[in-house]
Amino acid sequence: MQKAAADKSDPIAAQLAPVGRETVQDRVYLELRRALIGGLFEPSQVLTIRGLADALMTSTMPVREALGRLITEKALEALPNRSVRVPPITLERMDDLLRARILIEGEAIALAATRMTPRQIATIESMLGEWDEMRALKHKKDVDREVTLNQAFHFEIYRACGSAVLIPMIESLWLQSGPCIRVAIYAFSDAGEVDTAHYHRTIVKAIAAQDAKGARDALVADISRPFTFLRSKLESEAEKGQSA
């Protein structure tokens, strides 16, 4: 019955890696994904296969497959030239993304609000403290940590909604709005992280009370904030460009 672990190769090493070993392609894909959600790429930035292959210390093969996957998720865009780039930001696309996120993430959090266990609620409650820690040492903004913490908080909730269909869609939406979000957070200058903590606190309170509607409303307020901020920024830029 222990056939899976008992191979002709070293049984100890086999136990350390019991499941299928990770492929280079997946590593590249996850790396690019993380970079996109974190907003490490600029909107409209073009990516080349060989460039990424060199940067990731691999050949072109895993990169091109990863890029293809990201293009189908609309996380990247295939130009008619066959080059690929990070999709540019437009007002219409932003509103579109926000509406979809409100719809789907709102549904997910409403489901989660009625299903989260006390243990899961304790987990997201403990995450609130990390915002205070971050505000305590108020040196220059650690945008990476903000993004990571925000992501961990939200997906800890979404994972509890119990839908294997909704969660990948939410991941796709984050992937698509990642570059915009980063731009918004930078534009926020400071005063960003304290607000985030406040909204997250409201969300946790609603979930702890099993208040699905309250949780959905709090979430909408939370994810709308960077979008509305970015929207006003884009609008001012647009009219400036028009006058020029």
Partner DNA sequence: TCAATGCAAGTGTGATCACAAATCAAATAA
Partner DNA sequence: TTATTTGATTTGTGATCACACTTGCATTGA
Q: Give residues in contact with a copy of itself (CB under 8 A).
A: 19-20, 25, 29, 64-65, 68-69, 71-74, 80-82, 93, 96-97, 99-100, 103-104, 107, 163-166, 168-169, 172-173, 176
Nearer to a copy of itself, 11 or 168 (CB): 168
* Cβ nearer to DNA, comparing 64 with 201: 64
Between 49 and 128, whose beta carbon lies closer to a copy of itself? 49
Which option in DNA, a copy of itself, none does residue 118 bind, with CB closer than 5 to 8 A by kind?
A: none
**CA-based nearest residue to 203, from 225, 227, 219, 220:** 219
- Supply 174's token pair: 């984050």
Q: Is 58 in the site for DNA (CB under 7 A)?
A: yes
Q: Is 45 helix (H, G, I), strand (E, B) or coil?
A: coil
Sign of the CA dihedral with 183 first, then 186, 187, and 190 last: positive
The H or E element spanning position 99 is helix 91-113
Report the residue number, 69 or 93, with the smaller CB distance to DNA: 69
Pick out residues in 76-115 that bind DNA (CB under 7 A).
78, 81-84
Binding partner at 107 among a copy of itself, DNA, none, C-beta below 5 to 8 Å by kind: a copy of itself
* Rounded-to-integer distance, Cα 10 and Cα 22, Å: 18
CB 138 within 8 A of CB 59: no
